[in-house]
Amino acid sequence: MEIKIISDTLDELQYSTLVPETFKPYTLPAADKVYAGGDYGSIIFQHIHSPVTDIWLSSYFMNREAVFESEGSLPHARITFYLPQ
């Protein structure tokens, strides 16, 4: 599965499997995690796979307003919750 995300500065997000310690309280123990950071802030993508479904959780910690564009061939239904920090 290939998912590509471009920021509003036209940079492709670079991912790391190392999540900084300050963000560990926001992670799910059983999830596979990737972290991306830039001038926009920080993002943690988490994935839990089961035989019947896949659950993705994306947490955004923004330093500024930003727009992201994503590309992928993943069938999905999206539910979005915005929680103030």
Query: Quick one: pLDDT band at residue 3, thresholds 50, 70, 90?
Result: low
Please tell me the pTM assigned to this model: 0.76
pLDDT digits (tens, 9 = 90+) for 35-66: 999 989 999 999 998 888 888 888 999 999 98
Whether the pLDDT of residue 2 is over 80: the answer is no
Whether the pLDDT of residue 22 is over 80: the answer is yes
**Residue 57 contacts residue 49 (beta carbons within 8 Å):** no
Query: 17: exposed, middle or buried (C-beta count within 10 Å: 0-12, 13-18, 19+)?
Result: exposed
pLDDT > 90: what percent of the chain? Answer: 34
